[in-house]
Amino acid sequence: MRKTLIALMFAAALPTVAMAMPEGTGPMGDHMDGSRHSGQMHGMHGRGPYSQLDLSREQREQIRKIMGEQMHERQQLVDKYLEKLSPADQKALKDEMEAKHKKAEADVRALLKPDQQKQFDEIQKKQAERRAEWAEFKAWKAQQAQKAQ
């Protein structure tokens, strides 16, 4: 049980790394338009694990698609095993994951310069708005499904 929880926490935390990437960047750390900003770090490893491969725009887009699908499949797998936990364990796991995510965000923000912090805060606000819109859409969709029955 403990190993399962640890594996679930690890797998569930990985998508948050992707959310922390600046908008418009892919898994390679490049902007999707092919440009790079010197001196700025993208992704987890500076310029990304594929930056030295001299990929074409098409290759970067295909890799981005593959990585996105893999992340989606990983989330489905986590959800599958999360459903097997008791409601109390599910809530505890989600609460712990949320607390760790908030701490990581605060740690990242503390490393930034004031102008970067302002931009970081704006990005966080936009992401929160998108999550709220998505939750609203899912609720609306569930209502429509109930009305159809």
Task: Mean pLDDT check: name the lowest of 7-11, 53-57, 86-90, 132-136.
Answer: 7-11
- Helix, strand, coil distribution of the chain in percent, nearest 5: 70, 0, 25
For residues 116-133, give the mean pLDDT: 95
pLDDT given at position 53 = 84
Alpha carbons 116 and 112: distance in angstroms, whole number? 6
pLDDT at 31: 44
Neighbours of 58 (CB within 10 A): 8
Report whether pLDDT(20) > 50.
no
Residues 6+ apart with CB under 8 A from 6: none
Exposure on the CB side of residue 43, measured as CA atoms within 13 A: 17
Give the pair of three-digit tokens for residue 28.
Answer: 């390679």
CB 108 within 8 A of CB 20: yes
Q: Whole-angstrom Cα distance, residue 40 to residue 140?
A: 40
Mean pLDDT in residue range 111-115: 94
Rg of the Cα atoms in the chain: 18
* pLDDT tens digits, one per residue of 51-97: 788 889 999 899 999 999 999 999 999 889 989 999 999 999 889 99
Residue 44 has pLDDT above 50, yes or no: no
Q: Does the predicted TM-score (pTM) go above 0.75?
A: no
